[in-house]
Amino acid sequence: MSYNVLIIGSGGREHALAWGISRSKELNTLYIAPGNPGTEPLGINVPISPSGYPSVKEYFEAVHAFAIEKKIDVTVIGPEQPLVDGITDFLEEKGLKVFGPSQKAAQLEGSKIFSKWLMHKYNIPTADSESFTGETVLEDVEAWLKVENEKWPVVIKADGLAAGKGVFICKNLSEASAHIQRIKDDPSLRKAATRVVVEEFMEGEEASVFAITDGRHAKLLLSAQDHKRIGEGDTGLNTGGMGAYGPAPVADSRIMKLVEDTILYPTLGAMQVEGHPYRGVLYLGLMINEEGPRVVEYNCRFGDPECQVIVPAMKSDLLRVIMATVNFELEKEEVEMHDGHYCCVVMASGGYPEAFEKGMEIHGLEEVSEDSMVFHSGTRSENGKVYTNGGRVLTVTSKGASLSEAIDAAYRDIEKISFDKAYYRRDIGAKGLKRSS
């Protein structure tokens, strides 16, 4: 078989997916909408993106028209927003195959209140929580924390999508009030926080476990550990992710078995019972301690930057796995990962995740060794030059026989790249090294 594939998205995750799919012997033509300068050598970039259309429906219609014109066999949805908006339902209702969950299933990420309700109902291990709705939700949260809350720290979570920036760890009431004011002052955060979850702070070490599922069967992929905070030592504001490595030593074979038995399959079963079978990639964000793993959050797609670690680590043909998923034949497909360790480091614009400038010329991309991969996120090209065009600009991914070798290789190559006011954390993987030693 030979397949035409359309990838939706423009970030580092989509570049990694394009890289993985482009290596398949079963690929005919690969399209990326809209893609970025990094995806140009791997397929055909298509100028279709949500920003180019006045409504979500018109954007979906443009994707559908293109898929029909190019005889697309499967559409792979990279970002969470189109999934939460219902792109899978829209395309499947028109007879197209889509790798990604339905709108109802994507509530696992799109609504923190829904995911907490599901976990509590089906006894999936997670933190205790309180949910808040209504026109005065932020004032209600602050009042509850002043009067009812008996234990600090707590975690305040915006119910909706917030690009990884809607979670606030609060050590005391003063910090909580400051974060609530921050939400009020930021239009995008305020939009995501029309409903709010306040949950207990879970002690332990975070890790992410990824699975591909057709709704009935699932295949575990590599575990990984993201680095959400902007500052070294996990300090400062949350970001979309500043780097990752895998496998995560904290998620050993015992933990992975517990994840499968107490979280992954119970979640898939719960979604089946609720009438929203889940298909695609399920991201399990976990807190792990001596009691085992508990769910911090679900995501309904590959993480970014974790995808830039997981896809290079896949030994199996990614496109074959995707086709087995959409054809409900995943049980028959072997999913294998390469041996070794992988590390990726994100290079960001100075000022991110707050205000930052765009348009800085990027130097040194051609100097990166062949053993590392550069995945573009916020870039644009013009007259043969590449410029910054976002907060997280690019990711450098490297492999090593050990975690320390992978980390060293990633930093050797990211140091060859430069642009004005570039920033990256220099401690990606430090927790893994400490645990391994």
pLDDT digits (tens, 9 = 90+) for 359-381: 999 999 999 999 999 999 999 99
pLDDT > 90 fraction of the chain, expressed in percent and rounded: 95
- In the structure, what pLDDT confidence band is assigned to residue 296 with cuts at 50, 70 and 90? very high
- In the structure, what pLDDT confidence band is assigned to residue 149 with cuts at 50, 70 and 90? confident
d(CA 389, CA 378): 5
CA distances from 199 to 30, 116, 132, 145, 196 (A): 43, 10, 11, 11, 10
Check whether 164 has a pLDDT greater than 80.
no
Domains and CATH numbers, the chain: 3-105 (3.40.50.20), 134-194 (3.30.1490)
- Residue 320 has phi, psi (to 5 degrees) of -60, -40
Query: According to the model, what pLDDT value does residue 148 have?
Result: 87
Query: According to the model, what pLDDT value does residue 1 have?
Result: 78
Contact 116, 267 (CB under 8 A): no
Q: Which residue has the tokens 């399959």?
A: 265
Region label for 340, one of left (φ > 0), alpha (ψ between -120 and 50) or beta (otherwise): left
Query: According to the model, what pLDDT value does residue 238 have?
Result: 86
Torsion of CA 67, 68, 74, 75, to 10 degrees: 20
Question: Between vectors from CA 423 to CA 182 and to CA 367, what angle results, nearest 5°?
Answer: 150
Query: According to the model, what pLDDT value does residue 437 have?
Result: 75
Query: According to the model, what pLDDT value does residue 337 have?
Result: 96
- In the structure, what pLDDT confidence band is assigned to residue 416 with cuts at 50, 70 and 90? very high
d(CA 27, CA 178): 51
Query: According to the model, what pLDDT value does residue 150 have?
Result: 84
Over the stretch 72-126, which tens digit does the pLDDT of each residue have? 999 999 999 999 999 999 999 999 999 999 999 999 999 999 999 999 999 999 9
Closest to 80 (Cα-Cα) out of 367, 326, 299, 323: 299
Q: Is the dihedral of CA 358, 363, 366, 372 positive or negative?
A: negative
Helices (H), 122-223: 137-147, 173-185, 187-192
Q: Which residue has the tokens 């994507």?
A: 106
Query: According to the model, what pLDDT value does residue 97 have?
Result: 98
3-state SS, residue 331:
helix
Query: According to the model, what pLDDT value does residue 165 have?
Result: 80
Predicted TM-score (pTM) of the model is 0.93
Beta carbons within 10 angstroms of residue 151's beta carbon: 8
AA identity, residue 398: S
Over the stretch 252-294, which tens digit does the pLDDT of each residue have? 999 999 999 999 999 999 999 999 999 999 999 999 999 999 9
Query: According to the model, what pLDDT value does residue 136 have?
Result: 93
Check whether 212 has a pLDDT greater than 90.
yes
Average pLDDT, integer, range 22-26: 97
